[in-house]
Amino acid sequence: MTPNQMTGPVIVTKNLTRTFTTRNHTVEAVRGLDLEIGQGELVAFLGPNGAGKSTTLRMLTTLIPPTSGTASVAGHDVVDEQRQVRRSIGYVGQGNGAGHQQRGRDELVSQGRAHGLSRASARARADELVADLDLSAVADRTVMTLSGGQRRRLDIAMGLVHTPRVLFLDEPSTGLDPQNRANLQSLVQKLHAETGSTIVLTTHYLEEADALAERVIVIDHGSVIADDTAFSLKSRLGDRILLGFTDAEDAGVAAERAGNLAGGVAGAVVRREGAAVELRVTGGHELAPHLIHDLHSRGVVACSMEVSRPTLDDVFLDLTGRSLREASEGAGSPTADDSTTHDEPNNDGPNNNNRPTATEETAA
């Protein structure tokens, strides 16, 4: 932890709200957000398309005003002190900000000049960023010839030219292939570790939020529905044991035995649907072999078994009844009307990644 991280919050929002009124309807994009983000935190806003992540970022970066409520960044109000806020932040939006006909290095120098650096300082800063963001091999090519991943890195370099206290990244890895996404994530972590600056990014990639952020703020329908480390969010759910049987009778026995065996563990939940049984329990890896053995001794044999640690998708599913993966993949253009629930019964048995719906659910 750097000394910077010890100081008070660098971002504070109070009842921050933004509505959009179009011809046909009003969209409550962000609803009463109360947040405090400390200096030096690496935070991900995670949520499906249309959840309100970008709108929040756009308010924090002074691009749009709140409808009501307040927000301050680096101690400055986002409405009354826009200039001071802008000086303190770097913002990398979803679009590509760099001019396509210019060389990457020249773009960085121009950006530095625009932020008031002398020509020599702007050049030195551009060289530093080119090295830091692994752009040495391509910095002297025109931007239009760069790959998606290289452009994204250049965008981030542009956002860092003036050494901001807070860097906002709006879906930094959208559109990148897995390799480039992984590279970008390591780079963001490296930057964070080396500079100690606050980084706030939005993403709908579960793995990205999980791997990258120290703190995950889950947003749905414009509100914060969870805010913790990825580890803590997942730990609350316990492991998942999914068992499949050839008939519902066996599944009934298994549900009962699972309930008995997990009975002493706080928060354990058993669900049965048809011939599938799901047990959510802390320490599921240890319990699973005992359960199989117990069932075997009663002549009940599972035809499939899967034991998994919870993911952030499980967290989202638990909080909303929807899968974040489906909510994000299923959504097209982000409108408020896109927010459908995906809670149809799942009859695909235990090998399906969705949990059985709660046709029979008991606390163990």
Q: Which residues bind ligand ATP (CB under 6 A)?
A: 20, 22, 27, 29, 47, 49-55, 202, 204, 334-336
Q: Which is nearer to ligand ATP, 52 or 274 (CB)?
A: 52
Work out the angle at residue 198's Cα, subtended by the Cα atoms of residues 139 and 108, and round it to the nearest 5 degrees. Answer: 20
Q: Which is nearer to ligand ATP, 44 or 258 (CB)?
A: 44
82: Cα separation from own chain's centroid:
27
Identity of residue 334: P
Q: Which is nearer to ligand ATP, 40 or 50 (CB)?
A: 50
Contact 140, 105 (CB under 8 A): yes
Instruction: For residue 321, report the phi and psi dihedrals to the nearest 5 degrees.
Output: 80, 5
Q: Which is nearer to ligand ATP, 225 or 358 (CB)?
A: 225
CB of 336 to ligand ATP, least distance (A): 4
Contact 282, 238 (CB under 8 A): yes
Of 84, 47, 52, 51, nearest in space to 67 by CA: 52
CB of 20 to ligand ATP, least distance (A): 3
Torsion of CA 188, 194, 224, 26, to 10 degrees: -60
Between CA 110 and CA 269 the distance in angstroms is: 59
Token pair 């965008």 in the structure block, residue: 155
CB of 16 to ligand ATP, least distance (A): 12
Between CA 90 and CA 161 the distance in angstroms is: 8
Q: Which is nearer to ligand ATP, 4 or 67 (CB)?
A: 67
CB atoms inside a 10 Å sphere around CB 215: 18
Q: Which is nearer to ligand ATP, 27 or 154 (CB)?
A: 27
What are 245's two structure tokens? 């049987």
Identity of residue 38: G
Of 10, 30, 32, 47, nearest in space to 202 by CA: 47
Q: Which is nearer to ligand ATP, 4 or 223 (CB)?
A: 223
Helices (H), the chain: 53-60, 82-88, 104-114, 119-132, 148-160, 178-195, 206-212, 230-235, 248-261, 284-297, 312-320, 324-330
Q: Which is nearer to ligand ATP, 21 or 101 (CB)?
A: 21
